Amino acid sequence: MLGPRVWSSVRQGLSRGLFRTVGAWASGEGKKVDIAGIYPPVTTPFTATAEVDYEKLEENLHKLGTFPFRGFVVQGSNGEFPFLTSSERLEVVSRVRQAMPKDKLLLAGSGCESTQATVEMTVSMAQVGADAAMVVTPCYYHGRMSSAALIHHYTKVADLSPIPVVLYSVPANTGLDLPVDAVVTLSQHPNIVGIKDSGGDVTRIGLIVHKTRRQDFQVLAGSAGFLLASYAVGAVGGVCALANVLGAQVCQLERLCLTGQWEDAQKLQHRLIEPNTATKQLGLPLGKRGCLRPS
């Protein structure tokens, strides 16, 4: 990772570069990346000895590449990023970038507990091929994570990131919901393009869509379980674990919603609820690194 001297240089250089980009956006010369669509959150396969199985990872990517996804999310909760070393996290992003179709977006989870570590990871992930950084809320000191603290954190990350930033709220894993008022404030940052909201509160998703409607800001649902409802209140897509196993059906649900075929969409959503619940119950099964037990 970046040392103190390199960090100082990166901070100064990226700030100058981003300010130029901000000026382009403000003058209408540039436009934020469009993240609308369906993304499977790619799992991280492991060998019997708990090493990352890069061969299986690439095999999975080739299979997923046959579906009409907008792109892939790497190092989200489904990718078990807390159990990987920094070098493994970067290698996984690099391998996915090489294996995935060139016309797909790669959203890489770069969140860490500190702002500096998050910036360093974001810069490094950009260098190995990430198109955008998905940044989860820091949560170890969740009692101190006020709106002001989170706004400060994400603003610093977005200021210094060479790629667009997607906010990531997943309260089931962090115990922390990114407050709506913080999301609204952060939506005004020219390098923050959207949010993946995995809380399942459709009222909240609708409120975020409504309050950020004047910004170039997009909302992704964090599960196929509430994908139809999220589309109905203005979300533009979803990061859906179910898409790893039922990719065609999740993409079909997207098409039905986008074309206004709500009755058929409702029927398909109903059929997907039970398999989606099954994927949540499986979660992080035994045999993955974080759940290994002594024999």
d(CA 185, CA 67): 35
The residues, ordered by sequence, that sit 6+ positions from 205 with a Cβ below 8 Å of its Cβ are 197, 219, 221, 226, 229, 230, 233, 234, 235
Neighbours of 290 (CB within 10 A): 12
| pLDDT, mean of residues 253-263 | 98
Position 185 pLDDT exceeds 50? yes
**What size, in residues, is the chain?**
295
pLDDT digits (tens, 9 = 90+) for 189-229: 999 999 999 999 999 999 999 999 999 999 999 999 999 99
pLDDT digits (tens, 9 = 90+) for 80-130: 999 999 999 999 999 999 999 999 999 999 999 999 999 999 999 999 999
Q: What are residue 38's phi and psi, to 5 degrees?
A: -105, 135
Confidence of residue 32 (pLDDT cuts 50, 70, 90): confident
pLDDT (0 to 100) of residue 282: 59
Q: Is 24 helix (H, G, I), strand (E, B) or coil?
A: helix
d(CA 237, CA 195): 11
d(CA 66, CA 137): 32
Confidence of residue 237 (pLDDT cuts 50, 70, 90): very high
% of the chain with per-residue pLDDT over 90: 80
Residue scoring higher pLDDT (22 or 181): 181
Integer CA distances (angstroms), 7 to 73, 117, 273, in order: 26, 10, 46
Classify 176 in phi/psi space as left (phi over 0), alpha (psi -120 to 50) or beta: beta
pLDDT (0 to 100) of residue 258: 98
DSSP summary character for residue 289:
G
pLDDT (0 to 100) of residue 142: 86
Q: Based on C-alpha coordinates, what's the Rg of the chain? A: 18
The residues, ordered by sequence, that sit 6+ positions from 160 with a Cβ below 8 Å of its Cβ are 10, 11, 14, 15, 18, 119, 122, 123
d(CA 180, CA 276): 26
Confidence of residue 184 (pLDDT cuts 50, 70, 90): very high
Confidence of residue 20 (pLDDT cuts 50, 70, 90): very low
| pLDDT, mean of residues 30-48 | 90
- Is 180 labelled a binding residue? no
| pLDDT, mean of residues 153-166 | 98
Kindly provide the b/e burial profile for residues 235-249, where b requires at least 16 CB atoms within 10 angstroms of the residue's own CB.
Answer: bbbbbbbbbbebbeb
Please give the model's pTM, rounded to 2 decimal places. Answer: 0.87
Position 160 pLDDT exceeds 90? yes
Classify 189 in phi/psi space as left (phi over 0), alpha (psi -120 to 50) or beta: beta
% of the chain with per-residue pLDDT over 70: 84
Position 9 pLDDT exceeds 60? no
Residue scoring higher pLDDT (149 or 13): 149
- What average pLDDT is seen over the chain? 88
d(CA 175, CA 114): 17
d(CA 155, CA 157): 5
Lowest mean pLDDT among 20-34, 96-110, 115-129, 266-280: 20-34
Q: List the catalytic residues.
A: 168, 196
Placement of tokens 């922390």 in the chain: 176
d(CA 207, CA 4): 41
d(CA 92, CA 193): 24
pLDDT (0 to 100) of residue 283: 54
